[in-house]
Structure 1
């Protein structure tokens, strides 16, 4: 374990960046694990554990939905440029393709204002009807709505529920056995926010309000996981799509994750991921072949393929309230610190 990195994380807890966190740092095929702080801070403190399950929030998009879609593309069942309406006939826009949804270039907005009485069917219907009001490829708009549609597409082409298809296509092949929607091991889950919708601190219940309306199972949010399972996922990407010498994704699809498909002067996005930019959450020491994604609850993953480094952070920074936004600047600070000290002497 790198003592400097562990101390940085402990100081981050003291700075109230989050109650606690679990971190995995992969470097040249070796993984270091860190666990600091508290799993819960309210109504009482509970010491964190390395196998704590965290609400991944939007990491669901890249850990679950994106690789599942790519595996169906890889099998020839669908293609990047398959129009959405050919799978979902009620989708009004005839120009939007799977590629647009995967790269956040569909034109669909980030979100709508929703009444909590609405359900999955109403959400899908409203997105489908609204789609005719947008034009793809004009700009990058990071969209939960696009990934909700991708999740529904997975259900349509597999004839399975979304949790079933994610489990069969992604979680089982990568041996991510504790990663789940709606986990049953509630006591192992880090609590998130006090919810004004259900009037208690959420624990083992999804934090995202749209995912709540969709019974906790959605393409944009809903998965819970721990640091060991996410290490499997990150290692697969570092190994160009192979997991334990078996091809999970062909190299071309990993390459597409690292390729900036955005128009000039737009936020750089590959398939699923944010690609390298000198600002944002990336370290200045990361290579240009680096991707990252974050989750609202305080989760993030950064993968630098050239340097063979991955940095995974699981935290519940929204516990007990989302008003704590210190993590937004902290992420780049932490990535910088890791890149500067990754080769320091490690104490066993």
Structure 2
């Protein structure tokens, strides 16, 4: 079985679908299979993937955390898909953005452009909603689907506002601890800039 999994993953690495893979299969708490293949870092120098390699889940947090927390809030009646985001953030209470709903943000139909490097524009996290709110829409609301980081960054701030906690803490309380996921964690970006290799 290990050979089959490793061979399959290696074919995808060779096809340049992704640079590396690390997998582990456990049964009743006992490790049955595990392997590390490829390079965790390709540039500027090649660094082989190891069983201990830490991967950044990056945009997967949109579907694995933010969207699930929104679904939980909707299920609990704390927010509705039809709620205007301007109800929660005055930065969006403009003629152009007032009609953007939570559903628009979840379905990438808000009209926002794909992304902008806000991390270069501000060192202060609390300024991000204002920066997003000040952006002009690229398309009319509901006219196109454009995968936009702005949508889920805004939803992240919404979830944090309702829970009155940071998203990493909420995810730990709502998902990671109940599922006994002991190896998922959140890191501070300033720590990561100097100590992590992704």
Same fold by TM-score, threshold 0.5 exceeded? yes
Distance 1:8 1:132 in 2: 43
Tell me the residue number matched to 2:63. 62
Distance 1:168 1:147 in 2: 20
Change (3 A) 1:72 1:89: same
Change (3 A) 1:131 1:67: farther
- Give the structure, 1 or 2, with the largest relative contact order (CA under 8 Å, sep 6 or more): 1
In structure 1, stretches of 5+ residues that fail to align are: 26-30, 192-197, 205-315, 317-348
Q: Which deviates the most, 57-66 or 115-124?
A: 115-124
Contact 1:109 1:143 survives alignment (8 Å): yes
Choose which of 86, 99, 104 in structure 2 pairs with 1:100. 104
Residue 65 of structure 1 and its aligned partner are, at CA, apart by 0.7
Residue 14 of structure 1 and its aligned partner are, at CA, apart by 4.9
Residue 59 of structure 1 and its aligned partner are, at CA, apart by 0.5
- Larger relative strand fraction: 1
Distance 1:159 1:22 in 2: 35
Q: Could you list the per-position Cα deviations for residues 233-289 of structure 1 after superposition, in whole angstroms to 9, with x for gaps in the alignment? A: xxxxxxxxxxxxxxxxxxxxxxxxxxxxxxxxxxxxxxxxxxxxxxxxxxxxxxxxx
When normalised by structure 2's length, the TM-score is 0.76
Distance 1:161 1:110 in 2: 24
Tell me the residue number matched to 1:179. 184
Contact 1:68 1:170 survives alignment (8 Å): no
Residue 5 of structure 1 and its aligned partner are, at CA, apart by 3.9
Once the two structures are superposed, the pairs formed by residues 290-329 of structure 1 within 5 Å of their partners are: none
In structure 2, stretches of 5+ residues that fail to align are: 26-31
Residue 117 of structure 1 and its aligned partner are, at CA, apart by 4.5
Q: Could you list the per-position Cα deviations for residues 118-164 of structure 1 after superposition, in whole angstroms to 9, with x for gaps in the alignment? A: 13233321211336775321110001000000000011111112222
Q: Does residue 154 of the first structure (1) align with residue 159 of the second (2)?
A: yes
Residue 16 of structure 1 and its aligned partner are, at CA, apart by 5.6
When normalised by structure 1's length, the TM-score is 0.46
- Larger relative helix fraction: 2
Change (3 A) 1:135 1:172: farther
RMSD value, Cα: 3.2
Once the two structures are superposed, the pairs formed by residues 163-178 of structure 1 within 5 Å of their partners are: 163-178=168-183
Structure 2 SS opposite 1:65:
helix
Deviating above 6 A after TM superposition, structure 1's stretches of 4 or more consecutive aligned residues are none
Change (3 A) 1:5 1:114: same
Contact 1:84 1:96 survives alignment (8 Å): yes
Number of aligned residues? 185
Residue 175 of structure 1 and its aligned partner are, at CA, apart by 2.3
Q: Could you list the per-position Cα deviations for residues 70-110 of structure 1 after superposition, in whole angstroms to 9, with x for gaps in the alignment? A: 11111111111111111112213221111111111111111
Change (3 A) 1:38 1:103: same
Change (3 A) 1:33 1:75: farther
Change (3 A) 1:47 1:96: closer
Change (3 A) 1:44 1:147: closer
Change (3 A) 1:38 1:126: closer
Q: Could you list the per-position Cα deviations for residues 30-67 of structure 1 after superposition, in whole angstroms to 9, with x for gaps in the alignment? A: x9765323445665644521x53210111010111111
